A and B are shown apart, each in its own frame.
Chain A
Amino acid sequence: MTSPSANVKSRGDQFATRLETKITHETPNRDNPYQVECLRMHGYEHTALMEKCEFSAVIFLLFRGELPNNTESELFKQLCIALINPGPRHPATQGSMVAGVGKTISVNVLPIALSLYGGDYDSAGDVEAAMRLFRRKSRKPASAFVDTISHGDGNDKGDANDEETLPGFGTLYGDPDAYARKLLEHFATLSPTPVIQWLLAANSLLAEHTIGVTKAGVCAAVLADLGFLPRQGCGLMQLMAAPGLLAHGVEYANKPITSMLFESDDNYEIETTENTLNGGKE
């Protein structure tokens, strides 16, 4: 009998034999070809960046390929701080605390929190989709966008109450996110750039639909105006939130396990059982 594997043929794809990058240029150490003598990022020497640049400006450089000008630098720095701490009630922060108090190995605390922050509810999960939506729709007045939502028209929207179809907009615990609106208004005052201003207008028009901008939406608008690509958006928002997420987890790392929530049996309700054995438990 012939093995089924005999019928499988390689496509003969030509894979790269070298990695290639436009970001990092390393020159080798004279004695060890695996070690670095000099490192440049988008042309700038590493230690010079250390001496003369803000942390947020170097993040900007890595993703955009250029250092920010003064206006861009201020906007990006303020976005980093705006999103730096989702707060102790956020599920991602609670996850960080659980990992900390549960004595999860230290290096896993931040990855756990960041993965939780990758959802699309009050998190970074839909920044990419929001950036695509905003970049496309902000070419026309916000009223045109809101009007198409009202009529359930368009590929990416549908019913305005269906939050999943409107990245960057939604509700937080039943109502528009008031703090996200406050952040948006702050950025609108700071920056006359088109997507932020479009979002501010859209947000006020959407009030009658009982939805509003989310923090991911604010992030998406600022990043879009700064020229970042949609695919960079989710990770950047996670990166910006990382300090706050980690700080809360580490705060709990030395506490006893009893300092974390563990609901009493009285507050633990098993609603129904779903047991089925080929359709129903026998």
Chain B
Amino acid sequence: MNHQLWDSYRGKIKTKKGGWKIGEKVDSHGYDLINELMTGYTYMQVIVLNATGKMVSLNLSKWLEAVHISMSWPDPRIWCNRIGALAGTVNVNAVTASSIGNMAADSRAYGSLPLLEGVQLIQSAICALNKGVDINEFVDIELEKHGGKPYLMGFARPIAKGDERVSIMDIMAKELGFTEGEHLTAAYKIDKILFSKFGETINLNGYVSAFMSDQGFNPEEIYRIFTSVTISGVTACYVDTHERLNGAFSPLHVNDILYSGKGPKSLV
């Protein structure tokens, strides 16, 4: 019988985050949400606060906001957005549509989840370099894990080669006063190696993973900051199809589906 630990939680809530003290204040991580956060901080600063318990600078919040903008494209061919568009065409509500599109982006292939792997990769690179491993050697080891293919998380991307967002984010970072840290330096070295060998480059995931690592965040914190990073594009795609004819997004004739299964069978 080892359940006693749970008895101290039974009938009560323990939290380190804050709460509503009715008639007094809403406490959020020690800040007064109504009188302090609402008036003195940006929404992005509060998102990071809720995700990590850390209050970041205004400049970092501006940079993070730009990342969010860069990850929400109103193109319904992108998988999470397509879910938003499909939600619109069957008249799901906007909150549901946006939420389920956001859930779809919790994917091993794109969206929020790959940030975990991207951050782990660049942070493990720094660990390796600190132990004296050469960056070329590190890349070779990582390539070997992927059968020699350049599938390092944060480098290369689906559909297209190259990522136009990286240079824009880098310029913005410099304008906001950020300097290049060891993770970003390592990421650019990996970028150079992969470009010379495969023509592949660092993508936004790789850049964000390295930059945020330089700001002192761990993989889980970074993933949590970006939990809604694609949601706005989903909403846009939902709105477009919701305002059109019902069923008008991706309508398919019966014969548009290729059936490749078994022939007719009878039940005995």
Contacts and interface: CB of A to CB of B under 8 A. Distances in A.
A67 B13 CA distance: 48
Contacts of A18: 256-258
Interface in A1-26: 3-5, 7-11, 13, 18-26
Interface in B29-47: 29-31
B166 to A, nearest CB: 8
A227 interface: no
B163 interface: yes
B255 A175 contact: no
A155 interface: no
B197 interface: no
A273 B29 contact: yes
Contacts, number: 167
A240 B169 CA distance: 46
A19 B261 contact: no
Interface stretch (B15-23, B147-155, B219-227, B234-242): B15-23
Contacts of A275: 29-31, 53, 55
B245 interface: no
A10 B22 CA distance: 56
Interface stretch (A28-36, A124-132, A135-143, A201-209): A28-36
A246 B3 CA distance: 28
B14 interface: yes
A259 interface: no
A18 B253 CA distance: 11
A269 B13 contact: yes
A272 interface: yes
B55 A24 contact: no
Contacts of A4: 164-168
Contacts of B259: 20-22, 24-26
Contacts of A277: 55
Interface of B: 1-6, 11-19, 21-22, 27, 29-31, 53-57, 92-93, 96, 100, 103, 158-168, 247, 251-267
